[in-house]
Structure 1
Amino acid sequence: MRQMEVLGVRVRLNAPEHEVLVLLNEREGSRSLPIVIGPHEAVAIATVQAGMPMPRPGTHDLLLACVEATGMKVQRVAITELREGTFIAEIVLSNGSRVDSRASDAIAVGLRAGVEVWCADAVLEEAAVVLDVDEDDREHVHLTGTLGTDEAEERVAEFRSFLDSVDPEDFSDGNDDRS
């Protein structure tokens, strides 16, 4: 297992259908893992990364609150497998229980819980890429800790505006379990 950093959410506009991705990067390495996710999960990840409070708890906030209400904590999240193009993940609780999850949901919960995101070596070997990023791009790619509040809010607002302007069919290929 390798510890990963959540770089952020991206929309790949040059794909046949505009794909929404969450991009993970090895903390101790050069590989990145792009995972196609749904637009709602993208907003859930982007808003927590931007530090934007929501007026009411979302689904991921609710799940985390339920776990904590039982006296448990989320210990870590991990992408454990790539099965037929679908990333399989788990949320690991403080009592050792492992909860099966979509990768996007595990990442959204993990960010809210402030825990580490891990990825199995076999998944990285199969699906990771090495990004050719120069220093100017690195500032743009890396969202965590580099954006001021105004810039973070502006980027989330731009992303929400994009989501409002696209048709849900733009994200559908008939397989909703890709994340």
Structure 2
Amino acid sequence: MSLVKLTIKGISYSQTQNGAYALILNEVDGDRKLPIVIGAFEAQSIAIALEKEIKPPRPLTHDLFKNFSDRFDIVIKQVIIHKLVDGVFYSSMICERDKIEEIIDARTSDAIALALRFNAPIFTYKNILDKAGIFLKVNPETENSEHILEDVLSTSDAFGIEESNDSKNSYAKHSLSELHELLTIAVNDEDYEKAAKIRDEISKREV
């Protein structure tokens, strides 16, 4: 399968959907865009990496990873968004140390935040772009406004391309008893990130 190089078009925030950000990737040799709905922390980290003049007083998590990698001569060579299954993007980071390459699985938002810090190219496969890529007809005067995100979100609903780990409101549709069952399953599976999100939803209901 042929790889398609992507660049970061930008990040948009929705004024109508709290906490919803869209990371918009653009194919280098084409007009299609690949939108991914991400969380606030990842959006902030990517935005800081895009704005070279912004230097946080203390390293963010992705900055810490970069510092750690530099200390041990680990380089991220490229990031590949290699799979889209049931609305979830799967990505890999191709890393190198002592001329030995390793492939590390990563959430797409984390992989891109790190790719920016390593100046590593971002790719996806043509079949993924054919499936999830969209054409956005954007007015240049409003290109950086929330209107992009609203278009992306409405299209994303059709494709189901939210990044699953950042879907904070995905448990809102469940009843309280169902949430307690899901919490038990998540803890038994040692998926503590999911358990924390379910617990937060339960806490909101029981206030």
TM-score, normalised relative to structure 2: 0.64
Q: How does 1:144-163 map to 2 (within 5 A)?
A: none
In structure 2, what residue type is equivalent to 1:3?
K
Cα distance in 1 between the residues matched to 2:61 and 2:26: 25
Gaps of 5+ in 2: 146-166, 173-192, 195-207
Q: Which residue of 2 aligns with 1:22?
A: 23
Q: Which residue of 2 aligns with 1:34?
A: 35
Deviations, residues 125-169 of structure 1 (Å, cap 9, x unaligned): 11110111244345x37xxxxxxxxxxxxxxxxxxxxxxxxxxxx
Cα distance in 1 between the residues matched to 2:44 and 2:83: 24
Is the alpha carbon distance of 1:18 and 1:67 closer, same or farther for their aligned partners in structure 2, counting shifts above 3 Å?
A: closer
Shift of 1:57: 0.9
2:71 paired with 1:69: yes
In structure 2, what residue type is equivalent to 1:70?
F
In structure 1, what residue type is equivalent to 2:169?
S
SS of the residue aligned with 2:57? coil
Q: 1 or 2 for the larger relative contact order (CA 8 Å, sep ≥6)?
A: 1
* Aligned partner of 1:172 among 162, 166, 169: 169
Shift of 1:44: 0.4
In structure 2, what residue type is equivalent to 1:173?
S
Higher helix share: 2
Q: Which residue of 2 aligns with 1:9?
A: 11
Which is greater in Rg?
Answer: 2
Deviates more, 1:63-72 or 1:121-130: 63-72
Q: Which residue of 2 aligns with 1:121?
A: 126
* C-alpha contact 1:19 1:171 (8 A) present in aligned 2: no
SS of the residue aligned with 1:96? strand
SS of the residue aligned with 2:7? strand
SS of the residue aligned with 2:120? coil
SS of the residue aligned with 2:63? helix
Deviates more, 1:27-36 or 1:44-53: 44-53
* C-alpha contact 2:19 2:40 (8 A) present in aligned 1: no
Q: Which residue of 1 aligns with 2:87?
A: 85
Cα distance in 1 between the residues matched to 2:12 and 2:72: 35
Q: Which residue of 2 aligns with 1:110?
A: 115
SS of the residue aligned with 1:132? coil
In structure 2, what residue type is equivalent to 1:172?
N
TM-score, normalised relative to structure 1: 0.74
